[in-house]
Amino acid sequence: MILFFFKYIDFAIDSINAVLRFYYFDEISCRFDLILPVGISFYIFQALGYTIDVYRGDVEAEKNFFRYALFVSFFPQLVAGPIERSKNLLSQLKEVHTFSFERMKDGLLLMLWGYFMKLVLADRIAIFVDTVYGDLDTYTGYYVLIASILFAFQIYCDFAGYSTIAMGVSEILGFRLMENFNAPYFAQSAAEFWRRWHISLSTWFKDYLYIPLGGSRKGKLRKYLNLFLVFLVSGLWHGASWNYIIWGGINGMFQIMGDLGKNFRDKMQGLLALERNTFSHKILKMVLTFLLIDFAWIFFRAPDGSDVLKVLFSMIKLDNPWILFDGSLYQAGLTQKDYQLMWIGIGILILADLFKYKGICIRHRILRQEWWFRWLAGLGSVLLLLILGIYGYGYDARNFIYFQF
Amino acid sequence: MQKKLYHMLSSIVFVFVLVFLIDQVTDILSSKESIEKYHDMKGENFDVLFFGNSHALLGVYPMELWNDFGIISYNCAGSANMLPTSYWMLKNVLNEQNPKLVVIDVFMVGGDEKRREGRNGVYQQHISFDWQPLTKEKLGMMNFLMDSVDERIEFIAPITLYHDRWKELVKNDFDCSYNAGKGAQFLFTRAAPEKIESALEHEMIMEDSLGKEYLCKMIEECQKKGIEVLLIHIPYPDYAWHQQWGNGVRLIAQQYHVNYVNMFYEDTGVDFFTDVGDANSHLNASGGRKVTKFLGKYIQDHYAIPDRRGEARYDGWYDDYLQYTSVKWETLRNIKADMLSYLSLLYDENLDVCLFFNGESEMIYWGTPPKLVENIATLQRFQKASDERIDYLMVSDRGWGNVTEYLDTENVRQQNTSFGTIQYTKRDENGIRGLYINGGETNYLLNNNGTLAEIAVVAFDKKTGELVDSVRFNRNVSVAAQ
């Protein structure tokens, strides 16, 4: 109720008014325009998960009010997740924590990586994306294509950056939060993407909505309906607006079509004599998955339906290939050096995710090196962050995108 | 326990190394305007310090005070500095300096802003304060002049402001050049003021204002430390309202028993027609030179400020002066495209000038150039040349202190000057005249295409006798450089 009141009441009134308007009835005149409490979607879900766990008997009810309050308001992940489970975090709150130098180093490196994603990449990419999406009449064709591809990285770096900082801070304090992102753009299907993206939310919906609805136990049709419903609700969780609901619906459709098309894909594979375990086949699937997910992101980013249409038409026409060569791209908010740095940063991000995908932890590799190398890595990273980050008064350090949810 | 100690020590060392590196990187990334302007203040004590905003910054030249009067001074004025800013600047500077005299320009005494608003205003404060170490006074400045925590942090950790300059680093960021004018700046342009307003001396605004409050604070701060104060009001062509505020300062001066020179009512020689450099009513280098000369004389007459010329420890100032003039001449050479600015700046008393007007050119009688010539020297015969439209040559030999004027009708002629022998020949059958220096073959009156220039200038450094510049101006081809 609290979440509905703060986040959805105006959206609900607007939607009802749209229906009333359609049938020539008088509209509801009240509107609340409430300021959304920071992180409300995150801690409400965390508290809700705890309540359900207690109801199910999965965890014991916490008798200590202050410990429960700390669980709900644990500051590192309060405003943008990960949405922690009572089983994981509440139990850690009961443990005795002592300072560990090793954990501090580990946590600091995690934080540095998070800040790199947020300050160097997400906020730099945002300048280009905001410029293009803010004026879709001027910026068309390849501008829109590049901005749409970049938005996939922006939202990843923004959200994963914040989660990583939260994990790093918690690590220093002696708490281990759940992994929230696991190289999502290396997924080879939409279903796999959602197992790698915002894991704490996906598993929350799975545990507390999808399975209680029957999951896949009540036949195919019911399974697809459940899936679709879960993704619609997931979209609504992201924001009180129809574009988020459509975004959720599209992702739900990807999952259903992926399941429905399995037999067709098997047949095609045989027909075309494709080998599924080859590197090229995996790459192809990754690229196709990225394009599908990125297509859905358009509905997430574009503020309304007309903008979505403009973006799609622009991307179909692609009538200005020369901008890729004549320097016009450097007129869309980012200077040439910023633009180049952004792509170098994205390259580093992909490389880091590749290591993660392969199960290699770069952080731990660094910490195993000799002290001078560790110092060099630590000092160099802090300096580069300070120099290359987008922050400071002269620049609008953009709010974390997920703060609004 | 030993491990804990090792971790603690290594963490402390790590933080120290990090802070040191950030400091080094900040030095490279910082805008160099502040360090360029104030670099020469470090390590030397000045007898006279000037405070104020752009009017003083562009109007008082310490190197000329040195050259003319042997006064050791520094111009601490900053563009758009309101008096509260000047007050904090004074407090910071007096940490290191122990001047005999502080000179304060009172422009904007009626202002109620503590600093210019917006980001531009913040940036101006960085120019004034970035070069100074973090002291109690600097913290006081931050708290008073800055509105937000973010703005204050920019002074404690300037990297938060300058980090994005990595994209625009140039040689000067690694090998910084410094202000050769002991803090002063020049406006090497000439602009006719849109309007000229003049308040009468008795018209005064006496209301309270933040500027007034901080002017008093500045005087009190100086008097507390036994430093004499001189209040000045550098002239500008408009803003009668500000002039009336400036007139009211007379009473403040009386209250504190300090001298006040309101230059609007003094014979400084400033002529707004020739001596204004921009639309914001700032004096140009010609106007500034006149104000500086007047001020130097006033200080010499009214205060016991020693003439330091000849003192061994100030020998470096002679070299500084040479560097200063070379920068000045370089700037002069770069404004050839702007004939009116160029002509107005020939006032500089360190220049010996040969100026030729072609009698067949309409520029000898029409437009602005004839009026600007009067700024160079007091002329007796130019009007006749202008009326009769005949060739005119003026030789302003400031080295020997004389001005010679030649008209077309006279037989010429060879003249010895402080910068060499000049030979000025009659027109030949092709209508060509010649101006040769020291028996050289270069005719300084000829355009590149061999025709006679409409206006020609040859300028020499009064001290060294070296050729500073020679230029020809024509109505259709604005510049025919040598």
Q: What is the pLDDT of residues A39-59, one digit of tens each?
A: 777 888 888 888 898 988 888
Smallest CA–CA distance, residue A8 to chain B, in Å, is 34
User: What mean pLDDT do residues A93-120 have?
Assistant: 92
Contact between A375 and B17 using a beta-carbon 8 Å cutoff:
yes
What phi and psi, each to the nearest 5 degrees, are found at residue A240?
Answer: -85, 75
Contact between A386 and B119 using a beta-carbon 8 Å cutoff:
no
Smallest CA–CA distance, residue B18 to chain A, in Å, is 6
Write down the pLDDT at residue A290: 95
pLDDT, mean over chain A: 87
Q: Chain A contact for B15, CB < 8 A? A: no
Write down the pLDDT at residue B48: 96
Q: Chain A contact for B166, CB < 8 A? A: yes
Q: Of A3, A35, A33, A28, whose CA–CA distance to A13 is shortest?
A: A28
Within 277-336 of B, beta carbons closer than 8 Å to A belong to none
Give the Cα separation of B298 and B229 in Å (integer).
Answer: 13
Write down the pLDDT at residue A142: 93
What phi and psi, each to the nearest 5 degrees, are found at residue B69?
Answer: -130, -5
**Catalytic annotation on A198?**
no
One pLDDT digit (tens) per residue for chain B, 482 residues: 788 888 889 999 999 999 999 999 999 998 888 888 888 888 889 999 999 988 999 999 999 999 999 999 999 998 888 899 999 999 999 988 999 999 999 998 888 888 887 777 788 888 888 888 888 888 888 888 888 888 888 888 889 989 988 988 888 888 877 778 899 988 888 888 777 888 877 787 878 899 999 999 999 999 999 999 999 999 998 878 888 888 889 999 999 999 999 998 988 888 888 888 887 788 988 899 999 999 999 999 999 999 999 899 999 999 999 889 888 888 888 888 888 888 888 888 889 999 999 888 888 877 777 777 877 877 788 888 888 888 899 999 988 888 888 887 666 678 888 888 988 888 888 888 889 998 888 999 988 888 889 999 999 998 888 899 999 988 754 443 33
Smallest CA–CA distance, residue B91 to chain A, in Å, is 27
Residue with tokens 């509260």: B84
Q: Confirm if B447 and B427 have CB atoms less than 8 A apart.
A: no
Q: Is A212 helix (H, G, I), strand (E, B) or coil?
A: coil
Could you say which of A198, A238, A281, A364 is catalytic? A238
Q: Which residues of A touch B7 (CB under 8 A)?
A: 101
Q: Which residues of B touch A378 (CB under 8 A)?
A: 14
Contact between B21 and A383 using a beta-carbon 8 Å cutoff:
yes
Q: Which residues of B touch A335 (CB under 8 A)?
A: 167
CA-CA-CA-CA torsion for B406, B408, B412, B416, nearest 10 degrees? 20
HEC readout, chain B: CHHHHHHHHHHHHHHHHHHHHHHHHHHHHCCCHHHHHHHHHCCCCCCEEEECCHHHHCCCCHHHHHHHHCCCEEECCCCCCCHHHHHHHHHHHCCCCCCCEEEEECCCCCCCCCCCCHHHHHHHHHHHHCCCCCCHHHHHHHHHHCCCHHHHHHHHCCHHHHHHHHHHCCHHHHCCCCCCCCCCCCCCCCCCCCCCCCCCCCCCCCCCCHHHHHHHHHHHHHHHCCCEEEEEECCCCCCHHHHHHHHHHHHHHHHHCCEEEEHHHCCCCCCHHHHECCCCCCECHHHHHHHHHHHHHHHHHHCCCCCCCCCHHHCHHHHHHHHHHHHHHHHHHCCCCCHHHHHHHHHCCCEEEEEEECCCCHHHCCCCHHHHHCCCCCCCCHHHHHHHCCCEEEEEECCCCEEEEEECCCCCCEEEECCEEEEEECCCCCCCCEEEECCCCCCCCECCCCCECCEEEEEEECCCCCEEEEEEECCCCCCEEC
Smallest CA–CA distance, residue A392 to chain B, in Å, is 5
Instruction: Give residue-wise pLDDT tens across range A2-43.
Output: 767 667 777 777 777 777 777 777 777 777 677 777 777 788
Query: CA separation (Å) from B112 to A328, B85, B192, B266?
Result: 46, 12, 30, 28
Within 103-132 of B, beta carbons closer than 8 Å to A belong to 119, 122
Give the Cα separation of A155 and B174 in Å (integer).
Answer: 37
Instruction: Give residue-wise pLDDT tens across range A126-157.
Output: 999 999 999 999 999 999 999 999 999 999 99
Smallest CA–CA distance, residue A162 to chain B, in Å, is 21
Contact between A101 and B7 using a beta-carbon 8 Å cutoff:
yes
Sequence-separated (6 or more) residues with CB below 8 Å from residue A331 = none
Q: Chain B contact for A313, CB < 8 A? A: no
Contact between B164 and A394 using a beta-carbon 8 Å cutoff:
yes
Best residue in B2, B5, B8, B163 for a mutation probing chain A (most A CBs within 10 Å): B163
Q: How is A335-401 classified by DSSP, letter by letter? A: -HHHHHHHHHHHHHHHHHHHHHHTT--HHHHHHTS-HHHHHHHHHHHHHHHHHHS--STTS--PPPG
Q: Chain A contact for B136, CB < 8 A? A: no
Q: Which residues of B touch A101 (CB under 8 A)?
A: 7
Report how many helices (DSSP H) and strands (DSSP E) chain A contains, helices first: 18, 0
Give the Cα separation of B272 and B196 in Å (integer).
Answer: 8
- State the pTM of this model: 0.80
Q: Which residues of A touch B122 (CB under 8 A)?
A: 393
**Does the CA dihedral A16-A19-A23-A29 come out positive or negative?**
positive
Q: Chain B contact for A389, CB < 8 A? A: yes
Give the Cα separation of A204 and A198 in Å (integer).
Answer: 10
Q: Which fold has domain B32-326?
A: Rossmann fold (3.40.50)
Give the Cα separation of A73 and A400 in Å (integer).
Answer: 18
Q: Judge whether residue A404 has pLDDT over 60.
A: no
The side-by-side arrangement of strands in the sheet containing B48-51 is B73-75, B48-51, B101-105, B228-233, B259-262
Q: Judge whether residue A398 has pLDDT over 50.
A: no
Contact between A392 and B161 using a beta-carbon 8 Å cutoff:
yes
Give the Cα separation of A394 and B406 in Å (integer).
Answer: 60
Smallest CA–CA distance, residue A206 to chain B, in Å, is 43
Residue pairs between chains A and B whose CB atoms are closer than 8 Å: 50
Q: Confirm if A169 and A111 have CB atoms less than 8 A apart.
A: yes
The minimal CB distance from B163 to the residues A101, A337, A386 is found for: A386
Instruction: Give residue-wise pLDDT tens across range A272-311.
Output: 877 878 888 899 999 999 999 999 999 988 878 888 899 9
